């Protein structure tokens, strides 16, 4: 991938896509193309085909997706599976059809079975039942991995896949109806602080363990893979370290400066008990994360304070 190569970042306005654009620009890549959803509906086959035919990108980062937390996944499963299947199928097929040099598909760690062995190896895919609360989204993402695998097998396409752990960072979604756990907790503690609320309600027991990766670390790692990795096996993207949600809440409480108490809402689901990725394959490619958890949370909260409307 040369500095003037034509690079398409699908989903450039999202947290991950915008981080990829930032990283590419930092590295001196000057020919980055993207379209917002009003200009190009990635769910529509004819629009996507016209885009690839006209623009002829050489490299593609497929970060576009419909995403959300437990509540959103539970409430709108048909939308999650349909939108994501259409987006990735249209892009991957047209990348093959119009001779894209290399494509990187971005999945999610929720593709793995709910009760799989920890830490989770890439080989654990399809080894058991999925977590019901995000089964629709996970099914779509598994299909994206398989598309890349079989287009590589049948057509020789250099299509690779990366499976990130739980992500957080600037440009995250802080809407309590659709956000993931990290931005939801930041928003809850911030709102409670400025409104002088005595308690913050947290879903579940706080016992599940999760791994978190700062999104700019992910973008750096994805760029590294685009330059250095070319195999059919997907690559786990994470830190190799996890934390109980209850402990995470205490760190966020401290960063925000909230002095009230945390109350567990035991009527709400915990989700998967633990999701820790085995990042041996990623480290073997030569990449390791740099931003530690508390430092990352402090960066996100500073950004939130500057951009919160």
CA distance 117 to 115: 7
34: annotated active-site residue: no
Q: Name the token pair of 74.
A: 């539970």
180 in a labelled binding site: yes
Paired with 220 in beta bridges are none
Three-class secondary structure of residue 10 per DSSP: strand
- From edge to edge, which strands make up the β-sheet containing 209-210? 243-244, 209-210, 274-275
CA distances from 73 to 131, 133, 136, 202, 283 (A): 11, 6, 8, 18, 31
Which residues touch 265 (CB under 8 Å, ≥6 apart)?
201, 202, 203, 204
46 in a labelled binding site: no
40 in a labelled binding site: no
295 in a labelled binding site: no
Among residues 112, 137, 229, 258, the one annotated as catalytic is 137
107 in a labelled binding site: yes
253 in a labelled binding site: no
Helix residue spans in the chain (DSSP H): 15-26, 45-55, 70-75, 77-97, 135-155, 181-194, 215-228, 245-256, 280-284, 293-307
167 in a labelled binding site: yes
218 in a labelled binding site: no
181 in a labelled binding site: no
Closest CA to 104 of 215, 223, 24: 223
17 in a labelled binding site: yes
281 in a labelled binding site: no
228 in a labelled binding site: no
12 in a labelled binding site: yes
108 in a labelled binding site: yes
Paired with 33 in beta bridges are 8
Question: Does the N-terminal peptide bond of residue 119 adopt cis geometry, omega within 30 degrees of 0?
Answer: yes
CA distance 236 to 221: 10
Binding site as annotated, residues: 11-17, 106-109, 141, 164-167, 180, 188, 203, 210, 270
Binding site as annotated, residues for substrate: 188, 203, 210, 270
Which amino acids are annotated catalytic? 137
Binding site as annotated, residues for NADP(+): 11-17, 106-109, 141, 164-167, 180
């Amino acid at each position: 991938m040369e500095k003037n190569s034509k690079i398409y970042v699908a989903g450039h306005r999202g947290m991950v896509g915008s981080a990829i654009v930032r990283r590419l620009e930092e590295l001196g890549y000057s020919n980055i193309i993207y379209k917002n959803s009003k200009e190009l509906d990635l769910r529509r086959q004819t629009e996507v085909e016209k885009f690839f035919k006209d623009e002829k990108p050489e490299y593609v980062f497929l970060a576009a997706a419909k995403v959300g937390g437990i509540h959103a996944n539970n409430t709108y499963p048909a939308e999650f599976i349909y939108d994501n299947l259409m987006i990735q199928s249209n892009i991957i097929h047209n990348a093959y059809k119009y001779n894209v040099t290399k494509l990187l598909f971005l999945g999610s760690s929720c593709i793995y079975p709910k009760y799989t062995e920890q830490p989770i190896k890439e080989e654990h895919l399809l080894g058991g039942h999925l977590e019901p609360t995000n089964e629709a989204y996970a099914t779509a993402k598994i299909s994206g991995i398989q598309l890349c695998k079989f287009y590589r097998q049948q057509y020789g396409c250099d299509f690779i896949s990366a499976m990130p752990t739980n992500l957080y960072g600037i440009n995250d979604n802080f809407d309590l109806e659709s956000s993931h756990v990290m931005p939801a907790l930041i928003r809850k503690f911030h709102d409670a602080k400025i409104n002088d609320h005595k308690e913050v309600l947290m879903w579940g027991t706080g016992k599940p363990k999760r791994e978190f990766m700062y999104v700019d670390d992910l973008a750096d790692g994805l760029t590294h893979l685009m330059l250095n990795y070319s195999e059919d096996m997907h690559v786990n993207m994470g830190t190799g370290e996890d934390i109980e949600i209850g402990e995470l809440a205490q760190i966020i409480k401290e960063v925000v400066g909230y002095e009230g108490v945390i109350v567990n809402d035991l009527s709400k689901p915990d989700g998967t008990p633990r999701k820790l990725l085995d990042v041996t394959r990623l480290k073997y490619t030569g990449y390791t994360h740099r931003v530690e958890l508390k430092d990352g949370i402090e960066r996100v909260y500073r950004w939130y304070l500057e951009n919160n409307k």
